[in-house]
Structure 1
Amino acid sequence: RRPRTQLLLPLPPEPLQVGGQGIDAPRLIVRGPWLLLLWREGGRRQRLLFWPDVLDSGQRRELRLAVAARSVSRRARSMAP
């Protein structure tokens, strides 16, 4: 029920942009067909939920790779994304 939000995925090291604002430390949670993008803005947690019919498979992969390129991992990846 929120208005549409524009998400830009510029090349690293530029930050991801949500609604024209750069976001630091984005985190993406994949739960089956749903994607949840989390970040902090001004001390508050923000989130965007992507329903299965919003992004096609190519866009989902692009978002996963863009977030992985900018996030700080606590452990090494065991395989490619």
Structure 2
Amino acid sequence: MLALAVAGAPVALAAMGFTGTGIAAASIAAKMMSAAAIANGGGVAAGSLVATLQSAGVLGLSTSTNAILGAAGAAVGALL
């Protein structure tokens, strides 16, 4: 479960359209970005959910995020 949680996050981000080269056209990420920009008066705010997910899509997940995902995956695995 631990490996699945850590390895699955980048796959899920890419599937949503948060890619290493930017947000993919006509994707869930593009729709999220559009909604965020409209709500924010034309731009996506730094630190917003869309900005954070795009950063993770480009740079990958930080060590602390991987640790959190791993702990969550281990907890879920222990319950099953």
- Scaled by the length of structure 1, the TM-score of the pair is 0.29
Larger gyration radius, structure 1 or structure 2:
2
